[in-house]
Amino acid sequence: MPRKTALEALERCRRNGAWSGQVLTALTQKNNLEKRDAALAAFLFYGTLQNMALLDFYLAAFARGKLEPKVRDILRLGAYQILFMDRVPDHAAVSESVELCRKTGFSRAGGLVNAVLRRVAENKANLPEVPGKGTAAYLSVQYSHPLWLVEELTAVRGMDGAEAVLRADNEPAPITIQTNTLKTTPEALAGALSAESCGVIEGCLTLHDAGEFTQSDAFRKGLFYVQDTAARLAVCLADPKSGMHVLDACAAPGGKSFACAIAMKDQGEVVSRDISVSKLKLVHEGAERLGLSIIRCEAGDAKKYTGADDFDLVLADVPCSGLGVIRKKPDIRYRSRDELNKLPILQSEILDSISHAVKPGGAIVYSTCTWRTAENAGVTDAFLQDHPQFIKEEERTLWPDLDGTDGFYLCRMRRKKSI
């Protein structure tokens, strides 16, 4: 059942462009998978998504003719197990893939699947090399990223830097948590969870054994919340103080609101605003679990802000391409380029709208979880040109290969007290 679940998830993503996390969760529940089987289904599904172009390259060397989409998905799953999962015997990967053909009504493809995967297994120590080493086309296949994405990345980081980012995209992402210092100390929390300091920010910890950490006593007692180091650094750049009036304009799932409230020692007010009412419910529940009383949830569209300009600080973690979190969400690499090219318009609209919330002397911290210049400096530079009452104070791009964090852009802009 875990292999069938992974296959169904791949098919839904391929057919409907569905988001991987939502699809897998729904199918895991539908198929009533136990914890161990659910973990295997997730490993197979995400691993295959993560290496799809490379798997297709290898399969093309052993499979002739046009393949039906579902048969190709079955071959991808089987080849992933043979080439990337040492704990699965080759014969088991082959036989389970043939069985998948039968279970999904493709028994007629069983012979083909058997023959192709046997050849993959026989040749896995002598696989064909991806051609064009030192080119964007090579990186695109070797690390299974669309060519256009690789070309944009090489323009920013060069060939070697781009390869380092792509390699990091295909490596496991650590689970990073932030200490609720209003309830405990980083040292005590690290001891309770067998975690260690991330080495960048005080109170930021990396879990060695993620397990079911949300079922731990420490989580239930509100001693920590989950947040990547990069997102926490956005709040560090904002530097919230006790007594401030803060707007988190695109708040869900709430990490930055929590970080602000804790830094403010739960004194002042944090307005957590989001367009999604259901997601705001999660922010409210998180604030209650953490014991934070100054967070006030408010539904609203960030690009239609009409309130007063009385905020000392506004956080704008705007909707973006998400290319900086591919290692956590491998399907993001397959988003449409045309779709992503529309994002700077939305981001500029949000930034223009929430700029009216900042009082003279106050600051905006604009952030995205992407490295695309068009969504980052392209947006903030255009904003500053159109809004001379703001000045850029600091900006930074974080990289998974260089900083060990999500890929992130941070920019603090301050409204002049007078023009």
Residue 343 maps to a domain:
yes
pLDDT at 254 over 70: yes
Q: 228 pLDDT band (50/70/90 cuts)? A: very high
Do 157 and 180 have their domain in common?
Answer: no
The pLDDT tens digits for 166-192 are 999 999 888 999 999 999 999 999 998
Torsion of CA 227, 337, 398, 327, to 10 degrees: 50
Residue 101 maps to a domain:
yes
Residues classed as catalytic: 369
Do 280 and 202 have their domain in common?
Answer: no
Q: Tell me, what's the pLDDT at 65? A: 78
Do 29 and 71 have their domain in common?
Answer: yes
pLDDT at 100 over 60: yes
Do 13 and 79 have their domain in common?
Answer: yes
- Averaged over 107-128, what is the pLDDT? 91
Sole residue written with tokens 């708040």: 251
Do 52 and 189 have their domain in common?
Answer: no
Total domains present in the chain: 4
Q: 418 pLDDT band (50/70/90 cuts)? A: confident
Do 48 and 153 have their domain in common?
Answer: no
Do 71 and 184 have their domain in common?
Answer: no
Residue 130 maps to a domain:
no
Residue 323 maps to a domain:
yes
pLDDT at 309 over 70: yes
Do 86 and 200 have their domain in common?
Answer: no
Q: Tell me, what's the pLDDT at 20? A: 62
Q: 9 pLDDT band (50/70/90 cuts)? A: confident
Do 196 and 328 have their domain in common?
Answer: no
Please give the residue range of the domain that contains residue 216. 176-226
Among 155, 68, 274, 339, CA closest to 147: 155
Do 319 and 409 have their domain in common?
Answer: yes
Residue 129 maps to a domain:
no
Indicate the residue among 190, 210, 226 that finishes a domain: 226
Give pTM, 2 decimals: 0.91
Q: 29 pLDDT band (50/70/90 cuts)? A: confident
Q: Tell me, what's the pLDDT at 215? A: 80
pLDDT at 368 over 80: yes
